[in-house]
A and B are shown apart, each in its own frame.
Chain A
Amino acid sequence: MSTRKRFAVLIGAALSLILLGGVFAMSFVFDPQRFADGFIRMQNFDLLDTTVDMNLLQASSGLSQNYDPIVKSTDALRTALEGIHAEEEGEGEAYTLPLQTLIEKAEQKLLLIERYKSLNSTMKNSLNFLAGSPLEKLFARVQYHVTFPDLQSRESVEELVGDLGRKQPSLSRDEIRSLRDHALFLLDNAPVRRDLLQQITALPTHELARKLNGKYGDDFMLMQQRLGLSRRLLFVMSTILIGAIAYLLLAQEQLITHQTRSLRQQTVEIQSNLDRLKEAQSQLLQSSKLSALGEMAGGVAHEINNPISVIMLMADEIRDLGDAPADRAELGRALDKITSTAKRIATIVAGLRTFSRDGTRDPAEFFPVETMITETLSFCAERFKSHGIRLEVLPFDRALQVEGRRIQLSQVLLNLLNNAYDAIDGTASPWVRVEVNLVDGHLRLSVTDSGSGLSPETEAKVFEPFFTTKQVGKGTGLGLSISRGIVESHRGRLFVDHGLSHTCFVVELPGARMIDAQAA
């Protein structure tokens, strides 16, 4: 998957996340419950309002002494109104005016009801009083008038009231006066109560409450629809988002798998390169060894050629000898010479066998430095000599001994001598000088040749493996790096001494001391 594609998916996911947040937030704005509450509040109010109206009508004709039903239902209506009042502010602008109007009209209604309640209580008392009197006809007419307070019914009562006191001998004057007072009180107040009732029922609380009820209902449906839509949107958005995330995760997973695979492949390649390199290295080491051997063989050939010539010369001499006594003496001398020369060859071969051994695992031991130098020189002295290179070892104390693996250190010296030989062979008056010193318990063995030192570039690399200045095929570039490895394994140092105008390699080894050869 391309980066651009992934980026696009990422942007898409971010966008749908933002949209999701928006829709989620909106789902809080769409609060149908609020309108459902308002719907129920209005329905409740209208119901109580209707109950109050019914109670008002009932109370106007009833004679019951029970707890005033108006009081109960009015209290309930007032509580409902307080509930509406408490929610008024949170309902939004569209509701403010109708709610305020409803509250205002309802308050007016409650005030009128207070008056109605007061009037009704006293009228009820008067009616009760008349009902308990023997004047049944008066009570009946008054009750009719209270229910239908028109002029005609009023006159019918007034007619009877006018006759009071004349036809009721059983009643005292006080009683008659009381009855008249109550009848007139009812006559006066029945129309007042009717007007109050008309005023009360004319207040548009029902219409207002029902209108608000409908409005709440409409808004409830609207909010419900919007909420449903936002829920669907929420679902779609979520699905898209989850899809995008899954896609990205999958893509990421694939990318990682791919990268892992190619990384593994690279590792395999690197490993095989490394293996090949190691192989090459070991081949090189082998060839370096072979090359050192070759060089040595050249030296050995020189060393052995001369004694063989001596032996052949002696053999010719012996063939020419007669039986003369002088010849006999000459024969003994020649045979001695042959013997000593053959011995010398044997020594060289023995040394060669020793030298060509792998001395890596030999135990370190003290040995005379002189022996090591003599041994090493025996492999190359003839070669230097035959090429006109002066090889000199400056005199040093023969009691000097050093601790180490003798064969390995001989190899180092031979390597330094061979390098010197290669460097100066063919130059004018070439020489090589070997110096041995004891400095602060350290053996200092230097090989200086007549060359004019190393260039800085060469010196910087001279100990690196495979670095060589020799012609292709002549050197492996491993001699000095192996030598340095050997010296360092003896806790010593192999370095170039710049203090001289000639090329000088120095080997420094710890554990050097003077030991009396006799004592040792």
Chain B
Amino acid sequence: MAAFGAASAGAGPLSGEPLQPLPLKAPDQNPAIVHLGKRLFHDPRLSKDNAVACSSCHAMELGGADGQPKSVGIGGSVGDVNAPTVFNSGYNFVQFWDGRARSLEDQVGGPIHNPKEMASNWTEVLAKLKVDAAVVAESRRAFGKEIDIEVIQRSIAAFERSLVTPNSRFDRYLLGDQVALSETERRGYREFKMYGCSSCHQGANVGGNMFQKLGIMHDYFADARKTRSLTEADRGRFNVTKQPTDLHVFRVPSLRNVELTAPYFHDGSQRTLEEAVRAMAHYQLGRKVPSAHVNDIVAFLRTLTGELPKVEGP
């Protein structure tokens, strides 16, 4: 729906583009619900030892992610995948690298129960939150009821939906402002399309609207095995569907604000944008991309950084 809505919003001067601008405003939502969501998003009581909050791995000041190859959860345990950004996550068609949650609401429970992330459960979390008068009061005001699983899911999802980054230079370019991008950046965009990046990184979120196998033209995991052992997470969507065709299939990540969210890929193996572009060209497109083009494309990718959401401290 998000991609569809964005498509109709992109009826700017540049039409027929595979990429579309983000809506200028986050969807209308009850401010009381968003406020409670913000509070809970930053609340470490969602974890077993009261040390890890959602914001621990999805920091507002780190592009909605954590800058780590793989996130560090409770007790210093290292997670399975690179933390995807929370920004614009409402425009993704599914959540998680393997797409196992259809909605942000469904997603909330995942990290809370993951033993390497928050290692908690609903009963524990609710027991802790129910004795906090401020949280109880906010729940009553926002939902007219006591805090429960639904309240936590809906409020955190609402807060996440409010985290949008509109009005990037690239969006202004799409909307007709030709000088919003430099010549290099415009060339980078042309090459981005020409090499076929936009076959998957498309729509308003520049990705996040389809699944794709990692290693279409060359075997990514055969190469990865040379430097590390494969993990369960490397199986990707197979873990969800158990279909052989879904082995190593992941949700195509959004490239919005991509310059802020290094390192890259589900395993956090690519430290820079240049590395990531080269890897993508090799494994996904089966192409050798000259350095000049890589630089152009990276220049273009940096124009995808929008206005970051202003979130006052919790």
Contacts and interface: CB of A to CB of B under 8 A. Distances in A.
B209 interface: yes
A182 B286 contact: yes
Contacts of A66: 16-18
Interface in B166-210: 193-196, 198-200, 202-203, 209-210
A76 interface: yes
B298 interface: no
A72 interface: yes
Which size class do A's interface residues fall under?
20 to 34
Which of A67, A68, A76, A129 has the most chain B CB atoms closer than 10 A to its own CB?
Answer: A67
Contacts of A75: 1, 3-4, 93, 209
A135 to B, nearest CB: 15
20 contacts: A65-B193, A65-B196, A67-B16, A67-B20, A68-B209, A71-B202, A71-B203, A71-B210, A72-B7, A75-B209, A114-B211, A115-B246, A117-B210, A118-B213, A121-B199, A121-B200, A122-B199, A122-B200, A128-B196, A132-B194
Contacts of A65: 18, 193, 196, 198-199
A174 interface: yes
A390 B202 CA distance: 149
Nearest to B218: A181
Contact of A125 (B199, B203, B245): B199
B210 A114 contact: yes
B165 interface: no
Interface in A106-130: 111, 114-115, 117-118, 121-122, 124-126, 128-129
Which of B17, B199, B241 has the most chain A CB atoms closer than 10 A to its own CB?
Answer: B199
Interface residues of B, number: 35
Given A79-B4, A124-B196, 14 more contacts: A65-B193, A65-B198, A68-B18, A68-B202, A71-B209, A72-B4, A122-B199, A122-B216, A122-B284, A125-B196, A129-B287, A178-B287, A182-B286, A185-B286
A111 B212 CA distance: 13
Ranked 8 nearest A-B pairs via Cβ: A125-B196, A75-B4, A121-B199, A67-B18, A66-B16, A181-B286, A122-B216, A117-B210
A130 B157 CA distance: 44
Contacts of B19: 67
A111 to B, nearest CB: 8
A232 to B, nearest CB: 45
Contacts of A105: none
A363 to B, nearest CB: 93
A78 interface: yes
Interface string B12-33: 0000111110000000000000
Interface of A: 65-68, 71-72, 75-76, 78-79, 111, 114-115, 117-118, 121-122, 124-126, 128-129, 132, 174-175, 178, 181-182, 185
B199 A79 contact: no
Contact of A118 (B7, B16, B210): B210
Contacts of A118: 200, 210-213, 249
A67 to B, nearest CB: 5
A67 B19 CA distance: 7
A174 B1 contact: no
B288 interface: yes
B59 interface: no
Which of A79, A118, A185 has the most chain B CB atoms closer than 10 A to its own CB?
Answer: A118
A117 B284 CA distance: 15
Contacts of B200: 118, 121-122
A62 to B, nearest CB: 11
B199 A78 contact: no
Contacts of A124: 196, 199
Contacts of A182: 217, 286
B96 to A, nearest CB: 15
B291 to A, nearest CB: 15
Contacts of A126: 286
A175 B212 CA distance: 24
